[in-house]
Amino acid sequence: MAANNIFDIAGKHCIVTGGAQGLSRGMAEALLENGCKVVLVDVQKDKLEKVCTEYNAKGYQACAVVGNLADRADINRIFDESMAILGGKLDVLIPAAGIQRRHLPEEFPLEEWDLVLNINLNHVFIMIQKALNIMLKQSTGGKIITIGSMVTWFGGTTVPAYTASKGAVSQLTKSLAVDCAGRGININALCPGYMDTEMCANMTQARKDECSERIPAGRWGTPADMKGPVLFLASSASDYLNGAIIPVDGGYLVK
């Protein structure tokens, strides 16, 4: 395959969870801009449908599936509905939906612990398990891109559930890659650094400035900064990459 074609993903069928906003939307947009048909999944019905309408007005193939990724029964429906839209073919899965809750560990409500783990970890594995049962039957295999975090490498203050879930996603990615690399499935993780999204909207400006000082790139990331890495991992350019945990952090971890 010519080098100028190895990043071509046109015509691929994809699912991106959490696609109504933030990094998930940025990653879905990368796939859409490069000719993929993408099912965007989110619990926010109005926001999701508006996003898909905007993309389709540009000539993209964006389809909305509304559902609650914290509910295992609903995940079954979400996946089945998505596969019906995609005609039974799935090339790329990005189970990117995630939430964060902040409390001191001694005060962390257990119901919120369960919610964070259900969305950030359990939905990821369930969607991957279902995707594997499709991809392993396809001669073309598939690409699965999980979303970790910088807290894969260090602890985060007042976010024990988030840290536990994202660390687990990175380890899960490695384990799944061992089982799937020889069967035509590439599974890798992207670990975003400090990103200017809704998840960080409640941070004080002082804290944002403090974080910015450590970023060699000199700025926070944006959803657009996830597009290149996603294009790489969704394409044939990454066919020999398995179980990689890739920071997308402007150099934060190396300073």
- Order of strands, sheet of 61-66, starting from the edge strand that comes earlier in the sequence: 61-66, 37-42, 13-17, 92-94, 142-147, 185-192, 245-248
Residue 5 falls inside a structural domain: no
CA 237 vs. chain centroid, Å, equals 19
Residue 4 falls inside a structural domain: no
Number of domains in the chain: 1
In the residue annotation, 162 being an active-site residue is answered as yes
The CATH code of the domain that includes 105 is: 3.40.50.720
User: Which residues on adjacent β-strands are paired with residue 207?
Assistant: none
Say which residue the tokens 């409640």 belong to: 202
- φ/ψ of residue 117, rounded to 5: -65, -35
- Among residues 162, 194, 240, 252, which one is catalytic? 162
Residue 253 falls inside a structural domain: no
Say which residue the tokens 């403090």 belong to: 210
Q: Give the mean pLDDT per block of 10 residues along the chain (255 residues).
A: 80 99 98 99 98 98 99 98 99 98 97 99 99 98 98 92 98 99 99 87 76 90 97 98 98 93
The token pair at 5 is 């074609």
Residue 7 falls inside a structural domain: no
pTM: 0.96
Residue 107 falls inside a structural domain: yes
At 33 the pLDDT is 99
71/106 Cα distance (integer angstroms): 26
At 3 the pLDDT is 57
- Domain membership of residue 74 as a residue range: 12-248
Say which residue the tokens 């597009």 belong to: 227
At 212 the pLDDT is 84
Residue 23 falls inside a structural domain: yes
E strands, 95-184, are 142-147
Residue 65 falls inside a structural domain: yes
Residue 162 falls inside a structural domain: yes
